[in-house]
């Protein structure tokens, strides 16, 4: 291909490598990424690239839920949108270098990465899970309904997980997995009845949080709820307790629940 491309350049373009995308793409063996690499590196033209390193960086920035090769139109679009039109050569080179040296396939150096504040994979602690490979089954994604239950005194009901299992012994806002066909509100009412033996009224949505564990992802659909009746019992947990908002800091919560506490404080402020 290289030889044939050189022959075309010599025969048709007087030995001058063409500088427009359509002509370069028509040369034998030159695809879109190679064309983008040549035109940005050699002619400083604002043409995007999408090699393996760039696919990995963009898949992590977007927390792409499918293997990159199944989202190529979107990745090309993003590569084009983020390209610096004033400095396309340096930008594309930096993007490839970021993938080769910082956003590496294993153990990406997120703490050194200039894009860390914008990276969804980092925010969701998914950088080691992404990009999703073609052969690996996608991570199981669980939808969870979570209740922030208020009583008339303005206290919140929290529970402590049993010591065994994932996040054992930590405190949490009660809730559980949304069953097929169930609304979030129905799920929360059912879970609270099953786990704590009380009746509640489900109110407004407080916050939605995406979080990834090693083998699955969760979306926490968190709702304000009003305590109605019943004596809270630790039916499926170790302990339940009414606490004030100020006291929440005294209890160890899983990382994903800390955003709920922040949202409660913001809502009250
Ligand atoms: S923060 Fe981490 S995962 Fe995100 S782009 Fe940077 S190195 Fe990659």
What residue owns the CA closest to ligand 1's atom 4?
Answer: 119
Count CB atoms within 10 A of the CB of residue 42.
Answer: 12
pLDDT at res. 140: 79
Dihedral sign from CA coordinates of 17, 23, 28, 31: positive
* Cα 151 to Cα 200: distance, rounded to the nearest angstrom: 10
Q: Are the C-beta atoms of residues 157 and 149 closer than 8 Å to each other? A: yes
List per-residue pLDDT tens for the chain, 269 residues long: 889 989 999 999 999 999 999 999 999 989 999 999 999 999 999 999 999 999 999 999 998 888 999 999 999 999 999 999 999 999 999 999 999 999 999 999 999 999 999 998 888 788 888 898 877 666 678 899 999 999 999 999 999 999 887 788 999 999 999 988 889 999 999 999 999 999 999 999 999 998 877 678 889 999 999 999 999 999 989 999 999 999 999 999 988 899 999 999 998 77
Q: What are the structural domains of the chain? A: 31-123 (1.10.1670.10), 140-268 (3.90.79.10)
pLDDT at res. 149: 97
Helix (H, G, I), strand (E, B) or coil at 199: strand
Ligand 1 pocket at CB < 6 A? 57, 60-61, 102-103, 108-110, 113, 115-116, 119, 121-122, 127
Dihedral sign from CA coordinates of 61, 62, 64, 65: positive
ipTM: 0.98
* Cα 260 to Cα 29: distance, rounded to the nearest angstrom: 53
Distance 83 CA to ligand 1 centre (A): 17
pLDDT at res. 138: 64
pLDDT at res. 137: 63
In the numeric block, which tokens belong to residue 181? 């066909």
pLDDT at res. 180: 82
* Cα 95 to Cα 48: distance, rounded to the nearest angstrom: 10
* Cα 251 to Cα 230: distance, rounded to the nearest angstrom: 24
């Amino acid at each position: 291909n290289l030889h044939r491309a050189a022959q075309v350049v010599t025969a048709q373009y007087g030995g001058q490598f063409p500088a427009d995308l359509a002509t370069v793409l028509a040369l034998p063996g030159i695809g879109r990424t190679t064309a983008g690499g040549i035109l940005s590196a050699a002619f400083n033209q604002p043409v995007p690239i999408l090699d393996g390193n760039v696919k990995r960086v963009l898949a992590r920035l977007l927390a792409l839920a499918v293997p990159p090769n199944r989202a190529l139109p979107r990745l090309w679009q993003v590569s084009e949108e983020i390209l610096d039109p004033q400095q396309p050569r340096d930008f594309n080179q930096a993007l490839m270098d970021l993938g080769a040296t910082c956003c590496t396939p294993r153990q990406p150096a997120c703490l050194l990465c200039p894009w860390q504040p914008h990276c969804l994979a980092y925010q969701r602690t998914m950088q080691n899970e992404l990009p999703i490979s073609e052969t690996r089954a996608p991570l199981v994604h669980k939808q969870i309904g979570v209740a922030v239950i208020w009583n008339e005194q303005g206290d919140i009901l929290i529970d402590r997980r049993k010591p065994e299992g994932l996040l054992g012994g930590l405190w949490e806002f009660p809730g559980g997995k949304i069953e097929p066909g169930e609304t979030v509100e129905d799920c929360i009412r059912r879970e609270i009845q099953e786990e704590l033996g009380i009746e509640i009224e489900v109110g407004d949505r407080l916050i939605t949080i995406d979080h990834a564990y090693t083998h699955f992802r969760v979306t926490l659909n968190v709702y304000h709820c009003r305590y109605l009746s019943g004596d809270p019992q630790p039916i499926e947990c170790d302990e339940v307790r009414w606490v004030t908002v100020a006291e929440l800091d005294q209890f160890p919560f899983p990382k994903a629940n800390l955003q709920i506490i922040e949202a409660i404080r913001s809502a009250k402020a």
